[in-house]
Each structure stands twice: as structure tokens, then as C-alpha cells.
């Protein structure tokens, strides 16, 4: 029997785009995405597809094609669970902010709630698919909850980690490097695994669908991200050496990257990595290693995060020291707030840390991001609990126009690599700034020679140019 009804619990950055792609590629399967957050579901159902809550190039078109046909968004979690043969769990798993494992372990509160809800509603056998990034062995916790209900319903748990990167989600989902599915080595486990493989095989070549044990699949997701983050921290560590020497990080990255054993991707030096996965996944890895008493392993991976924190702090400190060691009352424009271009996601964005540091130094900040709302910027800062909410609002303003944000500023810091920043009329921006006018390019995206010719002082990452 092939699968006819799928449901996904969690309509966020992973669940939304992934289910939209499955619905597009499998018109014979009904896909229902449910979420407790009514506003979020209403936005997914907005008649105007440009208002869906996740900004991703190309996603609106995918939603427009499938929505109402075989893709549905709803708040009725129970009905969706009841009808589905396959249930994806794609709820948030933030780092715990309290109790044991605070600051490192993943908070599995929402996962547990989901499992309990499935257990109470399910009347027939179900395949449960872990889609959220989870620490290794979460599947066994989910299984425990599900199998102790005594309802006689049988559940198979699969791990199917998401490798899509935000900003390129549609592309990544459309032609993934690989799809990874982990399942139990029992006849029932293998049967469930086959069903999920068959769904992806509607558009992904079978040799790109890897099947493993549940545990290998869970660990691979954490470590793939840890390896990627490690590359960014490695190149960022070198950027500081470059700034002290005559070396140039772009040249070094190119020279290293052309070694085919190393490869050229993920060697762009920056103000630091952000996003919901990298830090959380490494912290999970560190926590797991520590819990097995593997202290050297834990310390090794933790250093990737320490380096990233250092890069963000170093960038903010450089702004202060360049502006004569004081930014008190000085207007500084921050271009970009999202953790990378082409997304409206700001989770763990380096911009938050840089802004916090500058506010601590009593700067007056002017923020512009093409896709991030004012409310989101304030929420991100308030979440840190560094200062009163009123103080964040008094000392940071969010602008809808980049030219207004830069007007009267002493300096500009580029914190996200949005393409539009390259096409601004930098001459006019310069004319409206206080002098000396400095640009701190935290993403190395601007044309330094052009800016210098206009009269700007420029500070980039990893070079003394
Ligand atoms: C990542 C993984 O790439 C994806 O496979 C996984 O499923 C989820 O986590 P994402 O967080 O969306 O995806 O973004 P990614 O493109 O990996 O970038 C992460 C951060 O690293 C961003 O802040 C980005 O700006 C930064 N980065 C990336 C660099 O600073 N330099 C680089 O060379 C690459
Ligand atoms: P991700 O990047 O992993 O997709 P998000 O935070 O963007 O994370 O999305 C997770 C979504 O899951 C949120 O919209 C949240 O409201 C939803 N969610 C969390 N717990 C539940 C639950 N028990 N039932 C339904 N939806 C849930």
C-alpha cells in the first residue's frame, strides 16, 4: 500500500518548504501542515502567496502551485494526525535555557508534547519521521512515549534529517545532494523505510537516497553541520592572522580551496556564522560527548563555537576602536540583520551580537534589512535580556530605507551579504554621512576600491586593504 496522506507538525522554516516541495512533486499524496500558531497558519493560507511567513526565493511559486490541490495548512493538529499514515515532526528544538544542560542540550519539550499528542490521537499504525534536528537517541525517547500508551497501535520511527540551507531551500529540496533516512533493522522498520524512500523517489534519483540506522542518521545530521561550521571558524581564525600580516583572506581561501581534497565551498570569511542549526548542533554534539565522559572530544568541537563568538566580538570591538575608542551617542548604520542573505530568519544572527555589543558601548544604531521586520529586530534584542526593552527601543531604530538609515551616520557595518547592498549609490550615501565616514564590511561583499575612491575609510574582514 502506498502512502496517500502525510502530515507535518510544525509549519516553520523546515516543515513549510519541505512539505510544499513534497506536495509539488507528489500530486497523488495529500500533504497537511499543522501548527499551533494560528497567525503562522493564517499567513501560509494568505491569498497573496507573497505573504507566506517564510521568505525563500521561489517558495511562493511552489506553494501557489500545490496549495488547495494537495497541500493544506491548518491548526487542526488532531484531525491531521488521525488521517495521516506518515507524520513528520518538524517542531522547534531550541537550546535549553534552564536546568541541567542549560546552554547546551536541546530542549525536547515540544518534541515530547508532539509525541504525546500523536499517542493520544492515533487509532491506526503510523510512521513517525523525525525532521527537526535532534540529539542522537531522541528517536528512542519518542518511541518510548508512543509505545507505552497501550493503545495497541504500532509506530515506526524514522530519522530523516533536513539538509536544506535557508535562502536556497527550494533549490536544495528540488535537487538534494542526498536524502538521508534512518530506520530500525527489523522487517517493520525496513518496510517503513521503504515507504519513505518511495515518496522521495518521485523526484530524487534512488542512488542519492541513503538509508542507515536511526542512530547513524541522527549523528550524521549533527556532524555534517559541525564540519561546515568548523570550516567557517577555521577560515575566520585565519582572517585575524591576515589582518595582522600582509596576507589577504580571499587569496588564502582561494589557494586553499583549489586543493580538490579541501574544496572551495564554505571558505568565505565573515563576521561569524549564524542560523538555527550550526551553534545548536555543535552544542548538542558537545553535550553528548560530555555525557559519555569524552572531554577531549567535547572541547575539540566547543572550540568551533568559541572561535565564532570571538569573531563577532572582534568585529564589534574593531568598530569601537576605529571610531576613536568611543561610539557613545554616535549613529552607526547596520546593513542586514538576517543570519545570511535571501532569508528573513534571524536566529543566532551575528548582527544581534554585534548590535548588543555596540548598544553596550552606548551607540545609536540604525538598522536596515530588506526582509526583517522591526518587531523581529526588537524581539531578538529583548530575548538577550541585556537591558530594558525601552532602552533597546530608545537606542536602536529600524529603517525601511537604507539611505535614511545611513544619513548622518559615522559608520556603516555590513552584517548580511544581501545582493542589493552592492548596487547602492555609495557616493550619495557618503555625501550624507559624517566624516571621516567608515564602512566595516563584515561580509566582504562591497567594492573596496570604489568605496575608497569615493572617500570612505574601509575595514574588511581578513585583509589590511
Ligand atoms: C545549515 C546547513 O548548511 C544545512 O545543510 C542544514 O540543514 C541547516 O544548517 P543554514 O543554517 O540555512 O544551513 O545556512 P548555511 O548556508 O549553512 O550558513 C550558516 C552560516 O554560516 C550563515 O550565517 C552564513 O552566513 C555563514 N557562512 C557560510 C559563512 O560565514 N561563510 C561561509 O563560507 C559559509
Ligand atoms: P524550524 O526551523 O525547525 O522549522 P521553526 O521555529 O521555524 O523551526 O518552526 C517550528 C514550528 O513548530 C513553529 O511554528 C511552532 O509553532 C510549531 N510547533 C511547536 N510545537 C508544536 C506542537 N506541539 N504542535 C504543533 N506545532 C508546534
Query: Running along the chain, 465 residues long, what does each successive block of 10 average in pLDDT?
Result: 94 96 98 97 97 96 97 97 96 84 82 90 93 74 81 90 95 97 96 97 98 93 96 98 96 97 97 95 92 96 98 98 97 98 96 98 98 97 96 98 98 98 98 98 97 98 90
* Closest ligand by atom to 90 CA: 2
Beta partners for 6? Answer: 31, 86
Segments making up each domain of the chain, as ranges: 5-212, 215-465
Q: Which H/E stretch holds residue 87?
A: strand 86-89
Beta-sheet pairing, 71-74 with 396-398: unpaired
Q: Is ligand 2 within 6 A of the CB of residue 12?
A: yes
Provide the pLDDT for residue 106.
Answer: 78
Q: Is ligand 1 within 6 A of the CB of residue 267?
A: yes
pTM to 2 decimal places: 0.94
Which residues are identified as catalytic?
Answer: 277
Provide the pLDDT for residue 127.
Answer: 96
**Distance, CA 195 to ligand 2 centroid (Å)?**
25
**CATH architecture for the domain at 215-465:** 3-Layer(aba) Sandwich (3.40)
Angstrom distance (rounded) from CA 329 to CA 359: 10
As a dihedral over the C-alpha atoms of residue 344, residue 348, residue 352, residue 354, rounded to 10 degrees, the angle is: -120
* Closest ligand by atom to 280 CA: 1
Provide the pLDDT for residue 252.
Answer: 97
Which residue is listed with cell 556603516? Answer: 412
Q: Is the peptide bond before 436 cis (omega within 30 degrees of 0)?
A: yes
Name the residue at shortest CA distance from atom 2 of ligand 1: 165
Name the residue at shortest CA distance from atom 9 of ligand 2: 12
**Distance, CA 167 to ligand 1 centroid (Å)?**
10
Q: Is ligand 2 within 6 A of the CB of residue 132?
A: yes
Q: From the CB of residue 289, how many other CB atoms can be counted at a distance below 10 Å?
A: 18
CB 56 within 8 A of CB 32: no
**CATH T-level fold of 5-212:** Rossmann fold (3.40.50)
**Distance, CA 223 to ligand 1 centroid (Å)?**
14
**DSSP 3-state assignment of 464?**
coil
Provide the pLDDT for residue 151.
Answer: 74
Q: Is ligand 1 within 6 A of the CB of residue 232?
A: yes
Provide the pLDDT for residue 180.
Answer: 97
Angstrom distance (rounded) from CA 325 to CA 97: 34
For residue 13, give the C-alpha cell: 522554516
CB 218 within 8 A of CB 137: yes
For residue 48, give the C-alpha cell: 497573496
Q: 215-465: same fold as 5-212?
A: yes
**Distance, CA 230 to ligand 1 centroid (Å)?**
11
Angstrom distance (rounded) from CA 264 to CA 262: 7
Q: Is ligand 2 within 6 A of the CB of residue 10?
A: yes
Amino acid at each position: 500500500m502506498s502512502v496517500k496522506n502525510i502530515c507535518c507538525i510544525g509549519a516553520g522554516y523546515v516543515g513549510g518548504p519541505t512539505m510544499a516541495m513534497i506536495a509539488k512533486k507528489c500530486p497523488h499524496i495529500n500533504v497537511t501542515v499543522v501548527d499551533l500558531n494560528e497567525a503562522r497558519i493564517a499567513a501560509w493560507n494568505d491569498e497573496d502567496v507573497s505573504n507566506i511567513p517564510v521568505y525563500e526565493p521561489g517558495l511562493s511559486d511552489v506553494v501557489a502551485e500545490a496549495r488547495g490541490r494537495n497541500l493544506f495548512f491548518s491548526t487542526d493538529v488532531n484531525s491531521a494526525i488521525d488521517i495521516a499514515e506518515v507524520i513528520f515532526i518538524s517542531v522547534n528544538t531550541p537550546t535549553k535555557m534552564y536546568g541541567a544542560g542549560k546552554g547546551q542540550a536541546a530542549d525536547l519539550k515540544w518534541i515530547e508534547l508532539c509525541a504525546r499528542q500523536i499517542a493520544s490521537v492515533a487509532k491506526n499504525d503510523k510512521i513517525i519521521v523525525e525532521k527537526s534536528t535532534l540529539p542522537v537517541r531522541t528517536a528512542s525517547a519518542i518511541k518510548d512515549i508512543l509505545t507505552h500508551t497501550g493503545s495497541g497501535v504500532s509506530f515506526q520511527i524514522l530519522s530523516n534529517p533536513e539538509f536544506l540551507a535557508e535562502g536556497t531551500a527550494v533549490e536544495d529540496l528540488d535537487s538534494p545532494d542526498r536524502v538521508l533516512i534512518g530506520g530500525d533493522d527489523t522487517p517493520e522498520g525496513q518496510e517503513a523505510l521503504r515507504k519513505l524512500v518511495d515518496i522521495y523517489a518521485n523526484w530524487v534519483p534512488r542512488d542519492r537516497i541513503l538509508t542507515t540506522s536511526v542512530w547513524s542518521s541522527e549523528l550524521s545530521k549533527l556532524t555534517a553541520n559541525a564540519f561546515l561550521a568548523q570550516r567557517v571558524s577555521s577560515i575566520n581564525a585565519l582572517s585575524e592572522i591576515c589582518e595582522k600580516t600582509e596576507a589577504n583572506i580571499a587569496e588564502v581561501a582561494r589557494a586553499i580551496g583549489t586543493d580538490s581534497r579541501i574544496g572551495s565551498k564554505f571558505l568565505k570569511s565573515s563576521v561569524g556564522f549564524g542560523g538555527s542549526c550550526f551553534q545548536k548542533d555543535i552544542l548538542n554534539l558537545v553535550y553528548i560527548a560530555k555525557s559519555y565522559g569524552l572531554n577531549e572530544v567535547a572541547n575539540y568541537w566547543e572550540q568551533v563555537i568559541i572561535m565564532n563568538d570571538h569573531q563577532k566580538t572582534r568585529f564589534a570591538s574593531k568598530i569601537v576602536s576605529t571610531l576613536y575608542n568611543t561610539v557613545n551617542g554616535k549613529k552607526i548604520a547596520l546593513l542586514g540583520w538576517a543570519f545570511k542573505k535571501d532569508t528573513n530568519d534571524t536566529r543566532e544572527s551575528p548582527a544581534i551580537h554585534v548590535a548588543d555589543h555596540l548598544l553596550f558601548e552606548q551607540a545609536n544604531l540604525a538598522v536596515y534589512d530588506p526582509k526583517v521586520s522591526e518587531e523581529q529586530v526588537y524581539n531578538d534584542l529583548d530575548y538577550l535580556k541585556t537591558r530594558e526593552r525601552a532602552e533597546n527601543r530608545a537606542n536602536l531604530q529600524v529603517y525601511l530605507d537604507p539611505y535614511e538609515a545611513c544619513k548622518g551616520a559615522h559608520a556603516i557595518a555590513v552584517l548580511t551579504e544581501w545582493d542589493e547592498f552592492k548596487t547602492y549609490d555609495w557616493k550619495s550615501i557618503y555625501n550624507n554621512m559624517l566624516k571621516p565616514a567608515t564602512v566595516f564590511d563584515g561580509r566582504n561583499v562591497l567594492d573596496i576600491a570604489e568605496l575608497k575612491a569615493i572617500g570612505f575609510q574601509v575595514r574588511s574582514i581578513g585583509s589590511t586593504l
